[in-house]
């Protein structure tokens, strides 16, 4: 007999796998493969280059048929390092109507409930395919899903809709910001701190660049969001890390910083890096190279997560609104894999249990009421697939 899990049991099981992004997710993938195989469902891996991680996709129902619905989720979670958890983060703890554990909200509960519903889906003679698409390394830049999307496009009929189960309180989200991450390296010239005129202080020039980016951030905040849908209602700027210098009595030769902006869907993605490059070239480098011709400022793009743009009136979106029993769509500021599916010309929305406010935090949790709401969603989905 194939193994059955209640949604709660499946949540317990998936949380027990330590799939922090720096670790392999293969034990979780092997478990899902075996579970699906027990129900007669074949699955396919799409591996990373060194074979330590895998995406997994599987099809229930008529795989050769056009259309269908993709249930998409990432298997990795963020680290717990430095967080003072009240309980073991990789063992689900139930308290006061909540399930605590790393990934309960972001986003293993969605995957777990979907997997627990496999027997219910298979009870019906599915008239359209239902896909499971599980990815790796979403938390470090939506890296893994890209190769899986390529594989889906090459080998399967195009789905009608992708449902990315990121925590949205079971609201239907059809828009989110894009993420643009960069690494800027400033190279100056070291010298004794008593001879300021003989050196080029990389930290000072990096500070000018950071200040310039902060001013752009203030401009974007003042410009606001014409759609009125996003919170915060503007393209946001963030400086994440700064490193530089050796000692207080040495003019620093090196400084680097990592930064990002999260752009409204209609924001020109080239504007901000182009303005920074022009500021460096016109205002800073002439002063730096007057002292040391070898001075440099280099900025490299590190990652890009595309926006999710509204596709109002799309049939797939209307279906998800119906399944979620919602009348309106929402917009969010966090990035997801949804924009990558949309870039591949597959209509995509976000709808999943839990709150993004709990994601990545100490004592991450999901409300049991959200688990129940997701169960009702999948009950209605099963009925739809059989109709």
Which pLDDT tens digit goes with each residue over 110-139?
Answer: 999 999 999 999 998 898 899 999 999 999
**What band does 80 get if pLDDT is binned at 50, 70 and 90?**
very high
Task: Give the rounded percent of residues in the chain with a pLDDT score beyond 70.
Answer: 100
Cα-trace Rg, the chain = 24
- Could you report the per-residue pLDDT of 241-279, keeping only the tens digit for each? 999 999 999 999 999 999 999 999 999 999 999 999 999
195-204, 306-315, 347-356: which range is least confident on average? 306-315
Six-digit token string for 235:
């393209």
Q: Which of 138, 190, 364, 367 is catalytic?
A: 138
**What band does 67 get if pLDDT is binned at 50, 70 and 90?**
confident
Nearest alpha-carbon partner for 283 in 187, 212, 214: 212
**What band does 365 get if pLDDT is binned at 50, 70 and 90?**
very high
Query: Which one is predicted more confidently, 163 or 64?
Result: 163
**What band does 64 get if pLDDT is binned at 50, 70 and 90?**
confident
User: Residue 125's pLDDT is what?
Assistant: 85
Collect all residues with Cβ–Cβ distance below 8 Å to 88 and sequence separation of at least 6. 101
Nearest alpha-carbon partner for 94 in 365, 376, 374, 373: 365
> With 90 as the cut, is the pLDDT of residue 315 above it?
no
Is 33 assigned a catalytic role?
no
Could you give the 3-state DSSP secondary structure of residue 257? strand
Q: Which of 33, 76, 160, 337 is catalytic?
A: 76
User: Residue 136's pLDDT is what?
Assistant: 98
Across all residues in the chain, what is the average pLDDT?
96
Could you give the 3-state DSSP secondary structure of residue 137? coil
Is 49 assigned a catalytic role?
no
**What band does 66 get if pLDDT is binned at 50, 70 and 90?**
confident
């Amino acid at each position: 007999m194939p193994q059955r899990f209640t949604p709660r049991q499946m949540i317990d099981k998936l949380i027990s796998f330590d799939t922090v992004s720096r670790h392999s997710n293969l034990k979780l993938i092997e478990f899902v493969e075996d579970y699906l195989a027990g129900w007669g469902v074949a699955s396919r891996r799409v591996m990373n280059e060194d074979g330590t991680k895998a995406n997994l996709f599987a099809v229930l129902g008529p795989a050769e048929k056009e259309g269908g619905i993709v249930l998409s989720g990432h298997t990795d979670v963020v680290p717990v390092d430095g967080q003072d958890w009240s309980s073991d983060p990789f063992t689900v703890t139930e308290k006061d109507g909540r399930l605590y554990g790393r990934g309960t909200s972001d986003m293993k509960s969605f995957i777990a409930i979907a997997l627990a519903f496999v027997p219910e889906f298979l009870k019906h003679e599915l008239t359209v395919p239902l896909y499971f698409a599980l990815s790796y390394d979403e938390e470090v830049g939506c890296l893994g899903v890209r190769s899986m999307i390529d594989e889906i496009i090459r080998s399967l009929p195009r789905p009608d809709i992708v449902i990315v189960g990121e925590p949205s309180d079971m609201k239907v989200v059809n828009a989110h910001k894009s993420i643009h991450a960069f690494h800027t390296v400033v190279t100056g010239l070291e010298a004794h701190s008593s001879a300021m005129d003989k050196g080029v202080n990389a930290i000072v020039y990096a500070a000018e660049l950071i200040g310039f980016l902060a001013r752009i951030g203030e401009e974007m905040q003042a410009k606001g969001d014409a759609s009125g849908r996003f919170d915060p209602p503007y393209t946001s700027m963030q400086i994440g890390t700064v490193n530089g210098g050796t000692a207080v009595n040495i003019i620093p030769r090196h400084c680097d910083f990592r930064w990002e902006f999260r752009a409204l869907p209609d924001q020109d993605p080239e504007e901000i890096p182009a303005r920074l490059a022009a500021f460096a070239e016109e205002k800073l480098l002439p002063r730096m190279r007057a002292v040391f011709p070898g001075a440099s400022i280099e900025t490299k793009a590190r990652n890009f997560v595309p926006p999710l743009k509204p596709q109002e009136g799309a049939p797939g979106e209307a279906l998800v609104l119906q399944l979620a029993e919602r009348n309106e769509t929402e917009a969010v500021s966090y990035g997801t894999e949804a924009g990558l599916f949309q870039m591949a010309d597959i209509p995509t929305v976000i709808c999943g249990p839990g709150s993004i406010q709990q994601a990545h935090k100490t004592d991450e949790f999901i409300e049991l009421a959200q688990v129940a709401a997701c169960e009702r969603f999948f009950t209605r989905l099963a009925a739809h697939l059989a109709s």
